[in-house]
Amino acid sequence: MKKIVVAIDFSSNSINALKQAVKMAAKLGAKVYAVHAYLAIKRADTMINVNRLLKEEAETQLTEIAESLELPKGASIKTKALKGDPVKAIEKYCNKVEAELIVMGTQGEQNDPEVFLGPVSGGLVKQTEIPILIIPNNYSIDKIENILFALKSMVIKDDAQLVPLKHFIKKFGAKLQVLQIKTPDNNPEDLIVSDRVKKLKAPIDYIEAENIYQGLTTYLTDSNVDLVCVMRRRRKFLELLFTRSLTKKDTFNSALPMLILRGHY
């Protein structure tokens, strides 16, 4: 994992996500790219000057933030101001630099206590195939010793889907626990442990719940976990969580960092 893109909007939540990404980057052997997307003004009479000012202001703030960080040995950071819709601009940039991970805060500048994910983080989760690490507000990653890989279906079709998870396990020396959440709408094939899950050589626990979010929330209540890993599957695992631009906390909430892997479709 060589390239990590961190999307920031200059809110305290996003700056904290950048700080956590920098801490992890040294451990993961990755370079950090801090990016901010600004919406361009489309009126012809003001477009050139205003857009130049927006870009310059964003670049200045990015530079100031980067220079204020204490970089661990082996860590480096590059900044970039992006023009356009945040979700589209960030994804385009990630593809350009061949990012292997996107890091974001759960919320941006809105900081709405009733919302789990903001429109940009939620939009990227729905749209991109790049793995995303979501950092809860004010969370500090001091250690990653225990990782929970929560699945509704044990079917994994591609080894590449698990590469980011394996990288975290190896670089942090973490222990892995697999959790299958059985819901009333499970298909029979979902319950069969695939060879790719078996090769993780991790203990498997099971829980029954009405839905995936209830099961995960219940399990985490009494568990010693530092990082939750889930798999994004269209119409399956995270469907309800990311179907709106703003995801309400009464639907799902996690006080732990969440690594979201690319699923199959």
Give the pair of three-digit tokens for residue 173: 């020396």
- Kindly report the pTM of this predicted structure: 0.86
**What pLDDT is recorded for position 93?**
95
Three state DSSP letters for 233-265? CCCCCCCCCCCCCCEECCCCCCCCCEEEEECCC
C-beta of residue 48 within 8 angstroms of C-beta of residue 98: no
pLDDT of residue 186: 85
Question: 3-state DSSP call for residue 199?
Answer: coil
The pLDDT tens digits for 7-41 are 999 888 899 999 999 999 988 889 999 999 987 77
Q: Report whether CATH 3.90.79.10 matches the domain 3-135.
A: no
What percent of the chain clears pLDDT 90, i.e. is strictly above it?
49
pLDDT band for position 73 (50/70/90)? confident
Contact 102, 90 (CB under 8 A): yes
Mean pLDDT of the chain: 83
pLDDT > 70? residue 232: yes
Lowest mean pLDDT among 96-105, 187-196, 238-247: 238-247
Instruction: Give tens-digit pLDDT for 140-191.
Output: 998 999 999 999 889 898 899 999 999 999 999 999 999 999 988 888 888 8
Mean per-residue pLDDT, 193-219: 90
Confidence category of residue 43, pLDDT binned at 50, 70, 90: low
More confident residue, 52 or 229: 229
**Torsion 190-193-195-198 (CA) sign:** positive
Mean pLDDT of 180-207: 92
Mean pLDDT score, 258-263: 87
Q: What pLDDT is attached to residue 246?
A: 39
> Which residue's structure tokens are 């790219």?
33
Kindly tell me if the per-residue pLDDT of 250 is higher than 90: no
Amino acid 75: pLDDT: 79
Q: What DSSP state is assigned to residue 71? A: P
The whole-number pLDDT of residue 110 equals 52
From 3.40.50, 3.30.70, 2.60.40, 1.10.10, which CATH number describes the 146-256 domain? 3.40.50
Same CATH fold, 146-256 and 3-135?
Answer: yes
- What are the CA-CA distances from residue 197 to residues 142, 156, 228, 235, 250 (Å)? 28, 7, 16, 21, 31
**In this predicted structure, what is the pLDDT of residue 185?**
85
Residue ranges covered by each domain of the chain = 3-135, 146-256
pLDDT in the model for residue 94? 94
